[in-house]
Structure 1
């Protein structure tokens, strides 16, 4: 699939380049918007912090399994992760995928940091204590179906000049390009040993 920005920009970066630029963008962002589907069809979004992006591009979040996200994902596994970096002139990302719960406390222990405890109150029962062994603590994992990354290629000034010039001339402003990466591309590259530890 092509879009007006990519068609105008005319570049064809490799999968390795697209994933490298995407990881650099995501590493510069502290939080994302995770959207899920409620049983009544409503879309619910909330801010989440990515705990890990695995080498094969699964997105992991530490979360409370007693939260409503569990109900929503049991209803519909399709989710979206969105990142807005436009205010910093960095572009944006939209990731469509399927979510599931991972109850592996070795992974929880690896990803846990002291600040995480703030999201899990100690109930005082000796079990729900806000530590990595708390049964409420689990990993929310998203497997990618498709990524769309608006890769910003011009500075803020360059973008402003491009927009003004394009508005006057009637052409399309091209401050960047929309890059599409599919889950199939990632799986194929992973199977071929082309994806490395970040």
Structure 2
């Protein structure tokens, strides 16, 4: 099996990079929120729900966040992060994106990516400066550049999955209701 567990070995199928990226973009867009996992200076892993402000064609994920939050200290401590998306409640898969994060200081990018709902997370402090708008100095952008992506792409309905699981349990084979797709850093560099 060359380093793959039985499930991954039986589920992995040859799919074009273009199809993998299209399916992954659609999956993330459908689920809207992700879990961003960072490591604190003490070594603890911290997860929090985030909404991507932008996802580039080569899967760089950008988040607008409060520069006074602890995320900066954690990313400065260790730039390795994980972005996880769980779609299993909707029976349509999951994704795990490992990569490196850093703050992006690009003129005009916050204004370009700003969404008025962000104001709810920043609030207006009433001082004319910290308004929760795109010019608020608390706003910053973290960008995650993926090293490797694993996406479980569900290919069967709930009923099809149940039938596959029961049939596999009876026959002793491995259930494969979907495909575990890996996108490597080399593949991402070619996009």
Q: Distance in 1 between matches of 2:154 and 2:22?
A: 14
Q: Distance in 2 between matches of 1:162 and 1:181?
A: 26
1:58 is aligned, of 50, 57, 60, to 60
Does 2:83 match 1:81?
yes
Structure 1 pair 100/10, CA: closer, same or farther in 2 (3 Å)? closer
Q: Distance in 2 between matches of 1:10 and 1:64?
A: 39
Q: What are the ranges of 5 or more consecutive residues in structure 2 without an aligned counterpart?
A: none
Q: Distance in 1 between matches of 2:63 and 2:111?
A: 13
How far does residue 55 in structure 1 lie from its aligned partner after superposition? 2.1
Structure 1 pair 131/166, CA: closer, same or farther in 2 (3 Å)? same
Q: Distance in 2 between matches of 1:137 and 1:10?
A: 40
After the TM superposition, which residues 40-55 of structure 1 pair with which residues of structure 2 at under 5 Å, given as runs? Answer: 40-55=42-57
Contact preservation (8 Å) 2:154, 2:177: yes
| Partner residue, 2:151 | 149
Secondary structure in structure 2 of the residue aligned to 1:139: strand
Deviations 1:6-59 (A, max 9, x none): 533463111111111111111111200110000000000000001110122210
Aligned pair count reads 189
Contact preservation (8 Å) 2:81, 2:101: yes
Contact preservation (8 Å) 1:3, 1:178: no
| Partner residue, 2:115 | 113
1:93 is aligned, of 92, 95, 117, to 95
- What's the Cα RMSD here? 1.4
Secondary structure in structure 1 of the residue aligned to 2:134: coil
Deviations 1:107-147 (A, max 9, x none): 11111111111111222232222111111101111000000
Q: Distance in 1 between matches of 2:101 and 2:57?
A: 17
Does 2:178 match 1:173?
no
Q: Distance in 1 between matches of 2:57 and 2:74?
A: 27
**TM-score, normalisation: structure 2:** 0.93
